[in-house]
Amino acid sequence: MAQDKQPNQLSEWVGDVQVLHQDPKNQNAIFQVASQFNLLEMVSPRVTPLAGITGYAYDKTQGPVCAMACAAGTLYRNYLVDMAGQKGQTDQCQLNMLDEFERAANHKKHGFWTMQNGYVMPSKPGLVKFKQFLSALSTEEAENLKALIKVGLQQNTQVTLNQAQHCVSQVYCSALPLAYHPYQDDLWQPFAQWVLDAAYEATFHHALLEKHRTGNRRIYLTLLGGGAFGNPTDWIIHAIEKSLHQFANCNLEIIFVSYGQSSQAVQSLLKRAGVSI
Low-confidence ranges of the chain (pLDDT < 50): 1
Look at residues 175, 155, 177, 180 and name the one whose alpha carbon lies nearest to residue 77: 155
3-class secondary-structure state, position 125: helix
Q: What is the pLDDT of residue 277?
A: 67
Decide which of 3.40.220.10, 2.60.120.460, 3.40.720.10, 3.40.50.670 is the CATH code for 9-273. Answer: 3.40.220.10
Element (H or E) spanning 141, and its range? helix 139-146
What are the boundaries of each domain within the chain?
A: 9-273
Look at residues 111, 81, 104, 76 and name the one whose alpha carbon lies nearest to residue 94: 81
pLDDT tens by residue, 52-74: 999 999 999 999 999 999 999 99
CB 24 within 8 A of CB 164: yes
Directed axis angle between helix 264-272 and helix 233-246, to 10°? 30
User: What is this structure's pTM?
Assistant: 0.96
The residues, any chain, with a CB within 8 Å of residue 19's CB and separated by 6 or more, are none
Q: What is the pLDDT of residue 84?
A: 86
Residue 48 CA to its chain's centroid (Å): 20
Main-chain dihedrals φ then ψ at residue 177, nearest 5 degrees: -85, 70
Q: How far apart are the first and last CA of the chain?
A: 30
Alpha helix (H) ranges present in 78-216?
A: 99-104, 107-110, 124-135, 139-146, 185-214
Look at residues 19, 10, 2, 9 and name the one whose alpha carbon lies nearest to residue 266: 10
CB 244 within 8 A of CB 205: no
